Every structure is written in C-alpha cells, then in structure tokens.
C-alpha cells in the first residue's frame, strides 16, 4: 500500500471527481481565499490551535502601585 500525503490524496480525489473546467474554478476559488478576497471563508489556523493562549493579554484593572504596600506585623507568640 502506498502512503501518500493528505494533500496528494485530495488532489487525486479532485481529479477523479471533477472535470478540468471545474478544477480550474476550484483553483480560482482557493486562490481568492489565500489572497483574502473572500472574507467569508478563512483557512484553518493551525498556529492558533497549537498555541491557543498566544498573546491573550488582559490589563489589570487596578492602578499601578506608587508606594510600597504596608505590611502588618504578626503578633509574637
């Protein structure tokens, strides 16, 4: 059994199911997606799946300290 890449298997499947003009339309549509001409369709973002918290920053709602905090002394036993 030959092990082809996922991309190669999709290409073979497309060629077996569609005519040349249909494949040309598919290629044109995919090119539009890659050039961001079709904002409705976005490719899968593999980086965001692998790093879901990348650059997820939140701002602390409290203002920054201007003086050191005061600590209460613990009572001696």
Mean pLDDT per 10-residue segment, the chain (77 residues): 81 95 94 86 82 85 89 77
Placement of tokens 């005519």 in the chain: 19
| CA–CA distances in Å: residue 5 to residues 2, 10, 11, 66, 77 | 10, 9, 10, 59, 72
pTM here? 0.51
Residue-level pLDDT at 58: 86
């Amino acid at each position: 059994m030959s092990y082809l890449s996922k991309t190669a298997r999709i290409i073979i499947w497309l060629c077996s199911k569609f005519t040349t003009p249909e494949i040309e339309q598919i290629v044109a549509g995919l090119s539009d997606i890659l050039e961001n001409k079709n904002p409705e369709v976005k490719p899968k973002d593999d980086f965001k799946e692998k790093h879901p918290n990348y650059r997820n920053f939140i701002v602390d709602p409290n203002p920054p300290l201007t003086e050191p905090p005061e600590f209460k002394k613990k009572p001696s036993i």
